[in-house]
Amino acid sequence: MLRIKRKGNINGLYVLPSIIWLMILFVIPVIFILAFSFFERGTYGGVNYIFSLENFKLVFDGIYIKIFFKTVLIAIINTILCILLGYPLAYYISTRKSIKVKNLLLMLIILPFWTNFLIRTFSWMIILGNEGLINTSLINLGIINEPLELLFTPFAVQIGMLYNYLPFMVLPIYASLEKIDKNIVLASNDLGANNIKIFFNIIFPLSIKGLFVGVFLVFIPSLGEFIIPDLLGGAKSPMIGNIIKDQFLTSRNWPFGSALVIVVMALILITIIINNKTFKRNSF
Amino acid sequence: MKNRLLNIYSFGIFAFLYLPILILVIFSFNQDKFNSSWGGFSTEWYIKLLNNSELLESFQVSFTIALFSAFISTIIGTLAAYGFYKKSFFGTSKIKTLVNLPIITPDIILGLGLLIFFVSINFTLGYYSILLAHITFNISYTTLIVLTRFSNFNSNIENAAKDLGASNFKSFVFIILPNIFPGILVSFLIAFTLSWDDFIISFFTSGVGTTTLPVRVYSMIKMGVNPQINAISTITLVITIITILIASKFQNISKIINSKSL
Amino acid sequence: MLRIIELTKIYVDINACKNISLDLIKNEFFFVLGPSGCGKTTLLKIIAGLVEQDSGTIILNESDISVIPSNERPFNIVFQDYSLFPHLNVFNNVAFGLKMKKVNKEEIRNRVIETLELLKISNLSKRKPSELSGGQQQRVALARAIINKPKVLLLDEPLSALDEKLRFEMQQVLLDLKSKLNSIFIFVTHNQEEALSLADRIAVMKDGQIVQVDTPKNLYTKPITKFIAEFIGEVNILDQKEEERIKLIRPENINLSQVPFKENYYEHTENGKIIQLLFKGNSISVIVSLDYSKTFKVLLSNIIQFDKLEIGDKVFLGWSENSIIYVKN
């Protein structure tokens, strides 16, 4: 009986470059954020490497908590709007008969998905501004005399968010609709259910997984959003992302900024846990 | 009746998605300075762009960073995907999670983390800090894309190659690579696009001297509405769209997104 | 000569291969036959070098090749799904092995043309695998393997995916190669008909172990265990009270008559009623229910004689002592 040991398993080597890279340039930076959140702010905007919980105490101060709430609210509204507007669209695409049409429509949804957030947000500035498209058209048509204040309002922020995040909700819902076995629908038709009943009892429940993924892809990034409130909301409706950006680039209070980031990350983690638990309870 | 409603509704949503971009593009050709009244067709803003040396420099910065980061991240990602495909090493699922994390991490966290990291180790913020940052987030995507390609792969052909005398290296070069090539190409193109369009991470990691194109556009926007912004935005959009369309010829992009989301 | 000595491979807690020992010689069709999951494909892969054994030795012509990696073993395998390289045309698929050995271009060209002609697929040289039928793909897979003049040729279920006609053609191709190739042939299959028709020797494998190695004839007429008797051909169980001495009889060895046999004509007789009758073209398969709730399957080859048989008929069965097969469990 011979015990053989051939060349060792080198398969792990192939993933090594990516692991090392991500360790150094992803994991460690995130750890740095965590570390900085416990440091003191130094004079002239530096950092004192002294342990302190001041930053977190400040986070839970009145003003910042208000902004956190506002941010979560905006994110929730955005998610709900995306679901309400996105679901019918996903349903529409998945019920097209020709595969070519489906792919074309899908491509049309995906294209904005890949283009620049900044540009797409800017396009709403042109539309909503005081000298923007809507106002100029309404004035020219004589409907109003003074420009409506559309830009730099919470309304503008919500529209901008919806515009940017809608594809992220449509795609996962579409994917889960596609997974439903068409034969189930046929079978229930055969058993006498009308279209509305089929939708609410069969199609919608089976597509819930897509909804959960969509919440994941919409709600969570919405929490960290700052471009849209920056360009479309002005100073009036900052989200927590704006405050964080300011701490880092204007106020130079990196420790406090880091603490804010950590709280956002905690919010995200909580969302993920709730999402997973609710999903598990609802899945069959 | 219900179908008609759905049709109209869907058409409306597509209009909602595309009109703002179309308006942006159309007004880039507007003779008038304001984005509200049409003063006639003109390409003057594009010509002004060509004389805007800062903008041209940003264009070059973005383009080269996109090329290099796509190139490097594709290599690292392909190797990683090959490693995952072989699957037989310790801790596979934990490492897979690590590679997937950057995708779900909001850009602001990635960007700020890198900012803190670079400054703390006294690494000058500039061209290379942006490049390193872009490679970082691209690795997750390139790995995922090439890995999807591997899922359609008949693993037995690697066995056949070995049986016929190919070493591990030769079988990788002559058999595996040619068969996953479309995936490698697509991941390169998508990494290019992601880098080309990135704003947030570049914003935080660029420091003072170097500006990528999106960051430049941001400062232009902050200074006020200006048709040059429309023009450069249009060019940016066109480059992105062309890249995505080329990529979609090689691999069904929607499948990637579907597999990523589910 | 290939000697396999006590080869063992364990996957988690399943014994894929347990102490397998075999001796194989040239110009012989050696079959490893067994049901799905018995470990035969694992054994094949271990011999090819694609899977590493946990213990055991493989010796080729006096040299120990147990630790030599697959790309250095002078063996070639024809996979069940052919595994042709999708991105290469037929010519390059077949040439691959020679290219890996750094044979010069001219010689590669000549040998490829020669091998393609041998397998009658010269006209497919420029096609890609996706443009070939199943039978064509298999010939290419075979060509790709034999061009390297391997000392051992391994074939995994070579005939299973083919229809009747193609199966016959491929059998002829293989028999033709037997004399020309000067290699050891090892086949793996679950199909006992395939094994019986082509094999010189068969090793029956069950649950990771070799149960019996013998010629097809001996396996059929003198199986050692009940499993083999049932796996190769069909049997009726006469008596299984004693575990070490189970009595079986094959359906074609039972004689059937519509009238009682002459006294002592057969050592053993029974009678019963026909409960099933299947006309199979060149034979009739009859299931007879005996008086005490046992059924026998009888195979009749004289269809003219038994033309008038019907379900419900009372019939008499008889067989001689020496057609009984004794097996252990």
Structural domain total, chain B: 2
Q: Do residue A2 and residue C69 have CB atoms under 8 angstroms apart?
A: no
Domain-embedded: residue A8: no
Determine contact, residues A94/A174, Cβ cutoff 8 Å.
Answer: yes
Q: How many CB atoms lie within 10 A of CB C61?
A: 11
| The dihedral sign for the CA sequence A14, A18, A24, A30 | negative
Most confident of the following: A159-163, A174-178, B40-44 = A159-163
The answer to whether C86 and B156 have CB atoms below 8 angstroms apart is no
Residues of chain B with pLDDT under 50: 89, 261-262
pLDDT tens profile A162-172: 999 998 899 88
Please report whether residue B111 resides in a domain: yes
Shared domain for B181 and B65, answered yes or no, is: yes
Instruction: Output C219 or A47, whichever has higher pLDDT.
Output: C219
* Same domain for B149 and B69: yes
pLDDT in tens, B233-249: 888 888 888 888 888 88
CA distance, residue C71 to nearest chain B CA (Å)? 4
Are the beta carbons of A2 and C52 separated by less than 8 Å?
Answer: no
Give A179-212 pLDDT, tens digit per residue: 887 777 778 777 777 777 777 877 888 888 888 8
- Which CA distances in Å does B166 have to B171, C73, C115, C216? 5, 11, 20, 37
Distance CA A99, CA A105 (A): 10
Regarding whether B178 and B95 lie in a shared domain, the answer is yes
CA distance A127 to B22: 11
Containing structural domain, residue B5: 1-42
pTM of the model: 0.80
For residues B87 and B207, membership in a common domain is answered with yes
Per the structure, the count of domains in chain A is 1
Identify the domain containing residue A114 by its residue range. Answer: 62-282
Tell me what pLDDT residue B35 has. 62
* B113 inside domain: yes
The verdict on B107 and B213 lying in the same domain is yes
Q: B97 and B136 share a domain?
A: yes
d(CA C30, CA C214) in angstroms, rounded, equals 10
Q: Which residues of C touch B177 (CB under 8 A)?
A: none
Residues B95 and B199 in one domain: yes
A71 belongs to a structural domain: yes
Which chains would you list as touching C if contact means 3+ CB atom pairs under 8 Å? A, B
In whole angstroms, give the CA distance from residue B28 to residue C30. Answer: 78
Under DSSP, the state recorded for C147 is T
Same domain, B34 and B62: no
Using the beta-carbon criterion (under 8 Å), do B164 and C76 form an inter-chain contact? yes
The nearest alpha carbon in chain A to B86 belongs to A11
Q: Percent of chain C beyond pLDDT 90?
A: 43
- CA-wise closest residue to C142 among C69, C162, C199, C25: C162
Residue by residue, pLDDT tens for chain C (329 residues) are: 888 888 888 887 677 888 889 999 888 999 999 998 888 889 999 999 988 889 999 999 889 989 888 889 999 999 999 999 999 999 999 999 999 999 999 999 999 999 999 998 999 999 999 999 988 999 999 999 999 999 999 999 988 888 888 888 888 889 988 888 888 999 999 988 889 989 999 999 998 899 999 999 999 999 999 999 988 888 998 888 888 888 999 999 999 988 888 888 888 988 899 999 898 888 899 999 987 778 899 988 887 888 888 888 899 999 999 889 899 88
Q: What is the DSSP letter of C264?
A: T
Q: How far apart are CA B70 and CA B179, in angstroms?
A: 20
The beta-carbon neighbor of B76 closest among A18, A123, A209 is: A18
- End-to-end distance of chain B based on CA atoms, in angstroms? 33
Q: What is the CA radius of gyration of chain B?
A: 22
Q: Which residues of B208-230 are buried (b: 16+ CB within 10 A; e: fewer)?
A: eebbbbbbbbbebbeeebbbbbb
Report yes or no on A2 lying in a domain.
no
Q: A33 lies in a domain?
A: no
Q: Is residue A5 part of a domain?
A: no
The interface pTM score, or ipTM, of the predicted complex is 0.85
B47 in any annotated domain:
no
Q: What is the CATH number of the domain that holds A148?
A: 1.10.3720.10
Which of C6, C51, C67 has the most A C-beta neighbours within 10 Å, making it the best mutation to test the interface with A? C67
- C79/B166 touch (CB, cutoff 8 Å), yes or no: no
Determine, for residues B225 and A125 on separate chains, whether the beta-carbon distance falls below 8 Å: yes
pLDDT band of A45, cuts 50, 70, 90: low
Residues B62, B192: one domain? yes
pLDDT score of A8: 46
The one-letter code for the residue type at C208 is G
Contacts of C64 (CB under 8 A, 6+ apart): C57, C58
Contact of C49 with chain A, judged by CB distance below 8 Å, is answered with no
The domain that contains B115 carries what CATH number?
1.10.3720.10
Q: Is residue A10 part of a domain?
A: no
Sheet holding C284-290, edge to edge: C255-257, C314-319, C268-279, C284-290, C295-300
* Inside any domain, residue A181: yes
Q: Are B109 and B239 in the same domain?
A: yes
Residues of chain B neighbouring A243 (CB-CB closer than 8 A): none
**Cβ–Cβ < 8 Å for C17, C39:** yes
